[in-house]
Amino acid sequence: MNETDIIKLQTRYVSHEIRNHISICEMYTEILKKNLEKDGYKNNSVENALECIKKSLKIISTSLLDLKSVNNFAPQNCDFKTLSEEGARLSDAYIQGKNIKITCFIKNTAQIYVDENKFLACVVNIIKNAIEAIDIKGEINIIGEVKDKFAHLRISNNGKMISKEKQKEIFEEGYTTKQTGSGLGLHICKSNLQAQNAELKLNKSTKSVTEFEITIPVV
């Protein structure tokens, strides 16, 4: 067996093992939810955390399917506002230990035809970057708007800026300025969105604000 075949086989094994453990996590999330309901325990933060864990597990599962085939998209009509708000909710977990205020305001809504999990993964990647750009204290604004048959989602933060020269490189595979970064986030976002007729661009990066924008046609 050559090295490529070994890696292919390894990929299938690893993916199989990950999937086994995802299903354990999914089952225990359900068990926890049911037990809390049974005991009459009401806590919004715990309920939100369980919903986010469930959704994240779903996103991991669909990502693993990408190892089986290319162009593994399952598009359907989705509500732009619901998806954007869900992306913001999922990303909240990355704030841990920082003083960051995230404001999400989706002005109006429409249906967009996307793979829900892949779209969410993109929104999460962009918000995660925005959080990582802020050292300790800052603000992130997520503004959504449907205008002229397109939905626009603008995600901005007041963290460290991307220099003019580097702005051309950020979408390249492997480009990172982070010690533990892989430089894949924006590259994956851009290609996943492009495959769904959507666009991702950096609107601006200055000392006061860095803003990314997703533009996607409405149904």
What is the contact surface with Mg ion in residues (CB under 5 A)? 129, 185
Strand-pair category, 210-217 with 99-106? unpaired
**For residues 29-54, b (16+ Cβ closer than 10 Å) or e, as one string?**
beeeeeeeeeeeeeeeeeeeebebbe
The alpha carbon dihedral of 34, 38, 44, 45 has a sign of negative
Q: Is 27 helix (H, G, I), strand (E, B) or coil?
A: helix
Q: How many residues are given for the chain?
A: 219
Query: Binding ligand ATP by CB under 6 A: which of 103, 181, 197, 203?
Result: 181
**Which residues in 117-146 contact ligand ATP (CB under 6 A)?**
125, 129-130, 133
* Residue 178 within binding range of ligand ATP, rule CB under 6 A: yes
* Residue 176 within binding range of ligand ATP, rule CB under 6 A: yes
CB 156 within 8 A of CB 130: yes
Stretch binding ligand ATP (CB under 6 A), from 38-46, 63-71, 106-114, 156-164:
156-164
Query: Binding ligand ATP by CB under 6 A: which of 150, 175, 209, 215?
Result: 175
Query: Binding ligand ATP by CB under 6 A: which of 184, 194, 203, 206?
Result: 184
Query: Which residues bind to ligand ATP, rule: CB under 6 A?
Result: 125, 129-130, 133, 157, 159-160, 162, 170, 175-178, 181-187, 210
